[in-house]
């Protein structure tokens, strides 16, 4: 069975500092990897996705993530965060099989302060 | 292009009652997936509908059921509500449900409170 582990439940950082949100997954088959952001009282917005090809993926709002197959990781990074990046971030995987949906981690709360 | 919409926004029900939540998929999308997000948790997959048929199901009891209509909109029905059913229910639509990286677009969710 597939699973997703987000290693940090909360990450506090100061504005303009770099940040990394860590995600590990387990799967015996090939997967697609995603990062979503959820602002308070809202649904999920896709930040970026890894399907195949280059292991460094760039997304919206200056975020990027690197797929590491040997370490089964898909960490999210941003070189300089803003107050507006404060939100809940979810890592998710989907196996390449019909009828399957996303499996999410428990989320990481990113709190950016000035 | 209209995104995924859900109704109602909020709902309060009593234990033992039944509830119906609704979702309109993004234009052109033929697949709808439903997720339950308990407070402080990540979303959990309930089931998926593709062209009006259930196409996959997570670890939820049969009292969670659904429908998809010819226009690809969908309903989630929950019978015999329990306190633990209190959660944000998210609907996501996508173009396709077979093999392939079908990106899912999420609606804003319905907040269900069971008292």
B101 touches chain A (CB under 8 A): yes
Integer Cα distance of A26 and A98 in angstroms: 19
Residue B103: pLDDT above 90?
Answer: no
- Chain B residues close to A104, C-beta within 8 Å: 35, 42-44
Q: What pLDDT is stored for residue B100 in this prediction?
A: 64
Q: Within 13 Å of residue A54, how many CA atoms lie on the same side as its CB? A: 5
Q: Among B10, B43, B46, B90, which would you mutate to test the A interface (most chain A Cβ atoms within 10 Å of its Cβ)?
A: B43
Q: Is the Cβ of B56 closer than 8 Å to some Cβ of chain A?
A: yes
Q: How confident is the model at residue A79 (pLDDT cuts 50, 70, 90)?
A: very high
Tell me whether residues A98 and B98 touch, CB distance under 8 A: yes
Report yes or no: B110 at the A interface, CB cutoff 8 Å: no
Q: How many CA atoms lie within 13 A of B19 on its CB side?
A: 24
pLDDT at position A64 over 90: yes
A49 strand-pairing partners? A34
Look at residues B40, B39, B41, B45 and name the one whose alpha carbon lies nearest to residue B76.
B45
- Nearest Cα neighbor of A34 from B98, B10, B103 is B103
How far does chain B reach from its first CA to its final CA, in angstroms?
37
Long-range contacts of B98-102, Cβ-Cβ distance < 8 Å, separation of 24 or more: B98/A98, B99/A96, B99/A97, B99/A98, B100/A96, B101/A32, B101/A49, B101/A51, B101/A94, B101/A96, B102/B31
B49: contact with A, CB 8 A cutoff: no
- What is residue B26's three-state secondary structure? coil
Quickly state the pLDDT bin for A2 (edges 50, 70, 90): confident
Q: B69 to chain A, minimum CA–CA distance in Å? A: 18
| pLDDT tens column, B25-72 | 988 889 999 999 999 899 999 999 988 999 889 999 999 999 999 999
Q: Compute the distance between CA of residue B94 and CA of residue B27 in angstroms, rounded to an integer.
A: 10
Q: Is B93 within 8 Å of chain A by CB?
A: no
A contacts of B48 (beta carbons < 8 Å): 99, 101
Instruction: Supply the pLDDT for residue A19.
Output: 98
């Amino acid at each position: 069975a597939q699973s997703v582990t987000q290693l940090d439940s909360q990450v506090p950082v100061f504005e303009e500092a770099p940040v990394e949100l860590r995600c590990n997954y387990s799967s015996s088959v090939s997967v697609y990897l995603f990062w979503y952001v959820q602002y308070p009282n809202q649904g999920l917005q896709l930040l970026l996705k890894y399907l195949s090809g280059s292991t460094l993926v760039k997304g919206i709002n200056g975020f990027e993530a690197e797929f590491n197959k040997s370490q089964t990781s898909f960490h999210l990074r941003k070189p300089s965060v803003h107050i507006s990046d404060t939100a809940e971030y979810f890592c998710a995987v989907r196996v390449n099989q019909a009828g399957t949906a996303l499996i999410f981690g428990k989320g990481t709360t990113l709190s950016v302060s000035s | 292009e209209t995104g995924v919409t859900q109704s109602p926004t909020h709902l309060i029900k009593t234990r033992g009652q039944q509830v119906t939540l609704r979702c309109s998929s993004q234009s052109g999308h033929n697949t709808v997936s439903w997720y339950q997000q308990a407070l402080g948790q990540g979303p959990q997959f309930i089931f998926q509908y593709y062209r009006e048929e259930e196409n996959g199901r997570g670890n939820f009891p049969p009292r969670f059921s659904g429908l998809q209509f010819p226009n690809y909109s969908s309903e989630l029905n929950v019978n015999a509500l329990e306190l633990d059913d209190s959660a944000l229910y998210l609907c996501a639509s996508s173009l396709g449900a077979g093999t392939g990286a079908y990106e899912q677009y999420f609606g804003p969710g319905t907040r269900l409170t069971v008292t």
